[in-house]
Homo-oligomer: A and B are copies of this chain.
Amino acid sequence: MSLATSSRIPEAAIRRLPVYLRVLDELQQADVEIVSSAELAVRTGFSPEQIRKDLAYFGAFGTRGVGYETAALGQEIRRILGLSAGVRAALVGAGHLGTALARHSLAKDKGVRIVAIFDNDPAKFGRNIDGVIVRPLADLAAAGRRLDVQIGILTVPATAAQAVAEQLVAAGCEALLNFSPVKLDVPPHVFVQNIDLTMELQSLAYYTSVRREPETEADKPE
């Protein structure tokens, strides 16, 4: 009962589904009722075969010789991801990044709703971020499972991250979005997605020509 790991479906495929969903919604907006994998490929940048394979992991949603119904496929993806049920998230850390994220996500409902925001800093208590009030971090432990949140978002300093993660898991979170540069230690049933902004910037530097110094020393010795 506790083995929730789906295992057969590549994580990369799951991460592409929201991209398909966005394009499908745009097409529907434009009254396009049918779309081919080739057309989706142009709009997403993924290959048509990949798109077909990704979708085929979950069923046969298209019509051969025709394509996919935009509306129906959109609903299927929403169902697969669990967005139609409406997922609830708690965000911890109402600093600049946390606030930006909350606004970003609350602006338009995309199936995941931030329903509670916590912080440590009394100066921030009571602040209203697009309709959600910033509460003391202590409330997270107190409210616990009554919050009924499935996703936790960490935009806290590295020093606080592990403790906050544990409280989010205790509150019932099964998936965490972690912006702290820390490897979180969580129970195996909890899925962690890390976003490390410093890492993103630093790794980009590699693809820049700046680094070319007259270097002789450390070339691979054959």
Contacts and interface: CB of A to CB of B under 8 A. Distances in A.
A14 B200 CA distance: 10
Contacts of A19: 181, 196, 199
A183 B44 CA distance: 6
Interface residues of A, number: 72
Interface string A57-92: 111110000000000000010011111011101000
A142 interface: no
Contact of A203 (B17, B181, B200, B203): B17
A25 B18 CA distance: 36
Interface SS, A side: mixed
B81 A201 contact: no
B97 A104 contact: yes
Interface string A182-197: 0100000001010111
Interface stretch (A30-38, A133-141, A161-169, A211-219): A211-219
Interface of A: 4, 14-15, 17-19, 21-22, 43-45, 57-61, 76, 79-83, 85-87, 89, 95-97, 99-101, 103-105, 110-112, 150-151, 153, 174-177, 181, 183, 191, 193, 195-211, 213, 215, 218-221
